[in-house]
Amino acid sequence: MKQFKGLAVNLGLTVGAIAFAVVTAEIGLRVAGIEHPPPQRRGEKLEPLPLYNFEDPYRGWAGNPNVTGYWDGEGEHGEIRMNSAGFRDRERYRKKPANGLRIALVGDSFVEGLYLRDENTYGAVMERKLKQCPVLQDKEVEVLSFGAQGYGTAQEL
């Protein structure tokens, strides 16, 4: 019985400490003026899209083809270029070279490299590294980036 009483006391103290921490954090956030943004209602437009995106009836939004802009927000500052397909990648030929090896990256802002310069996106870095690989010296290596910020699996495919 003593063990049960000690366990109950410890459990009660733990739950109480966690509840106290959560309430204290909530009060601190409210005093600091930090609030969760209100949820968007179904059918409402998203926040204004960046200049390099447009509203797409199937995916919600997509990249504007052949747009160049300057990113001055969070992360690295620099030029952002969209290719003729509307993706943040250099211009590519549709037909793969005869000795080509193509790797497709599909994803969201991590693939797009939203906060990075073009040459620092992981697709660009991967392409540079693969071109240095001795095994692939006879191949024309291309890493194609099909990333778009905020995309989920259904939009990516």
Tens of pLDDT, residues 22-53: 999 999 988 888 876 665 555 444 444 566 78
- 141: phi then psi, degrees, rounded to nearest 5: -85, 130
Eight-state DSSP code of residue 87: S
Residue 78: its pLDDT value, please? 76
What is the pLDDT at residue 72? 72
Give the pLDDT score at 50: 62
Q: What is the pLDDT of residue 101?
A: 93
Give the predicted TM-score (pTM) of the model: 0.62
CA quadruple 53, 56, 60, 63: dihedral sign: negative
* Phi, psi (deg, nearest 5) at residue 120: -105, 0
Flag the least confident range among 13-17, 47-51, 115-119: 47-51
Separation in Å, CA 10 to CA 1, 5, 24:
14, 9, 21
pLDDT of residue 77: 75
Q: What is the pLDDT of residues 120-154, one digit of tens each?
A: 898 999 999 999 999 998 999 999 998 888 888 87
Residue 105 has which token pair? Answer: 């990256």
Residues 6 or more apart whose CB falls under 8 angstroms from that of 35 comprise 29
Per-residue pLDDT reduced to its tens digit, 53-77: 888 888 888 888 988 877 777 777 7
Alpha carbons 52 and 114: distance in angstroms, whole number: 11
- Beta strand pairing status for 68-71 and 78-81? antiparallel
Going from N- to C-terminal start, the domains of the chain cover 1-36, 53-156
